[in-house]
Homo-oligomer: A and B are copies of this chain.
Amino acid sequence: MNVGDKLRAIRKKHGLSQRELAAKAGLTNGTISLIEKNRTSPSVASLKSLLDAIPISMAEFFSILEEDDSAKVFYRAQELTEISPSHQGGVSLRQLGNAAHHALQVLHETYEPGADTGPEFLSHEGEEAGVVVRGSIEVTVDGAVSLLNAGDGYLFDSRLPHRFRNIGADPCEIVSACTPPSF
């Protein structure tokens, strides 16, 4: 999200030091330092205090923040966001960018040995495709089964039931794309 950089930019634009803003908001300069360096995620109440003191509304703040986010082009590995609920069953799905604002969703997927998505019966429209980057994986699409190795790929209609299982001994990595994005 990068609340820190945006807060710092706005604070400086208004010619305030961390201490000045802290005094107005009823917080401390240390807190602002931590927030601006993204070493902590402020509570909604704290952030509101800060923005009220500038002043700028929460809606405005997140509006320009998310606008910036959707204009973002380059992403560091650590900036990909995990969208698999709590690494369920050794499956990691790391999404590039904020898919809600784009027509294209790209995932960096990792399947630990034994990982299994289970047979999902998704019904959303669109297509999915991917390339195996490392290891191997068994992919089932609408009954058809195939073992894909590094360099192999797949492409199918999202409405078809599909399943990924890592039956090998090593982790498997895939880079995939969906359009439109699915959640």
**Does more than half of chain A's interface fall in helix, strand or loop, or is it mixed?**
helix
Q: Do A44 and B1 have beta carbons less than 8 Å apart?
A: yes
Q: Do A59 and B55 have beta carbons less than 8 Å apart?
A: no
Contacts A44-B47, A59-B66, A61-B62 known; list 4 others, CB within 8 Å.
Answer: A23-B85, A42-B44, A58-B62, A59-B62
Q: Do A1 and B45 have beta carbons less than 8 Å apart?
A: yes
The residues in A between 142 and 183 inclusive whose CB is less than 8 angstroms from any CB of B are 183
Alpha-carbon distance A138/B39, docked complex (angstroms): 47
Copies of the protein in its oligomer: 2
Alpha-carbon distance A151/B62, docked complex (angstroms): 45
A86/B26 contact (C-beta < 8 A), A58-B66, A59-B62, A62-B58 known: yes
Q: Which residue of chain B lies nearest to A87 when distances are taken between CB atoms in the complex?
A: B26
Q: Which residue of chain B lies nearest to A56 when distances are taken between CB atoms in the complex?
A: B100
A10 within 8 A of B: no
Determine the chain B residues whose CB is within 8 A of the CB of A62 once the complex forms.
57-59, 61-62
Q: Do A3 and B183 have beta carbons less than 8 Å apart?
A: no
The residues in A between 40 and 95 inclusive whose CB is less than 8 angstroms from any CB of B are 41-48, 52, 55, 57-59, 61-63, 65-66, 85-86
The residues in A between 116 and 160 inclusive whose CB is less than 8 angstroms from any CB of B are none
A24 within 8 A of B: yes
Q: Chain A 1-44, CB within 8 Å of chain B: the 1/0 string? A: 10100000000000000000001101000000000000001111
Alpha-carbon distance A23/B84, docked complex (angstroms): 10
Q: Which residue of chain B lies nearest to A42 when distances are taken between CB atoms in the complex?
A: B44
Q: Do A44 and B45 have beta carbons less than 8 Å apart?
A: no
Q: How far is the CB of A67 from chain B (nearest CB, A)?
A: 8
